[in-house]
Amino acid sequence: MRPSTIAIDGPAASGKSTIGELLARRLGYLYFDTGVMYRAVTWVALKREIPPENEEAVTALAATLHIDVLPPTVEDGRQYTVMADGEDVTWSIRRPDVDANVSLVSTYRGVRTEMVRQQRRVAANGRIVMVGRDIGTVVLPDADLKVYLDATVEERAWRRCREMQARGEPADYEEILAMMRRRDEIDSHRAISPLRVPEGAVVVDTTELTIEEALDRVLSLVEERECRPA
């Protein structure tokens, strides 16, 4: 049988979102980037002038914030539409100030507990490609297929820089590189759900791969699992 739950993990700009969306579309599965939940909490906290360093206040916000992830509602290149208490925050959650604070927010135990609960509820129906940083380790440790996408930090910084420039936003490569190194450090060493390769996951290095080549690698893993005897 084809894997029903597919977990894709990896650091920022490793290709998780792009490959995850394309894979879900190819398989006819639901695409769910769990990172948008943490970004939405971070964005709303900043908008409401809640200091990201205030764990108690941010956790209280996460417990009451209603987050929806929908198919694209606007044809502007988005992969999905993210709603936070009825507001479209799809592009707002990609701002540099969110990039700079989302890793801290995602370390809070209360925030993660609430987000993981919602993520598991969504995944319970199966036929899903779930993307994040702790999917194969925490959210779906028993996923039918676990993939870890990776790339050098320099390549990942260039990708984020080009992405921002394509949207007409100012982007400084050195600043983005420094931010990404800081984020990698936080994500890999946080006490709760640190970023790591899940047990049983297949690592795919996308540094030198085109989008099509990376997608083909992951599709081959799906087909391999599909062909295995029960």
Q: In this predicted model, what pLDDT tens digit does every residue of 186-219 receive, in sequence order? A: 889 888 888 999 999 999 999 999 999 999 999 9
Domain presence at residue 229: no
Amino acid occupying residue 21: E
Identify the pLDDT of residue 116.
93
Helix locations, the chain, DSSP H: 16-27, 35-47, 55-64, 96-105, 109-123, 153-166, 173-189, 211-227
Asked if residue 26 is part of any domain, the answer here is yes
Task: Write out pLDDT tens, residues 31-83.
Answer: 988 989 999 999 999 999 999 999 999 999 999 999 888 778 999 988 888 99
At 184, the pLDDT band (50, 70, 90 cuts) reads very high
Quick one: average pLDDT of 157-165? 94
The CA distance from 230 to 148, in Å, is 24
Enclosing domain of residue 107: 5-223
- Side-chain-side CA neighbours of residue 75 (13 Å): 0
Mean pLDDT of the chain: 93
**Do 140 and 2 form a contact (C-beta atoms < 8 A)?**
no
Per residue in 76-89, pLDDT (tens digit) is 988 888 999 999 99
CATH number, domain containing residue 15: 3.40.50.300
In a domain, 228, yes or no: no
Has residue 38 been placed in a domain? yes
**What's the rounded Cα separation, in Å, for the pair 222 and 22?**
13
Look at residue 46 in the predicted model and tell me its pLDDT: 98
Count the domains in the chain.
1
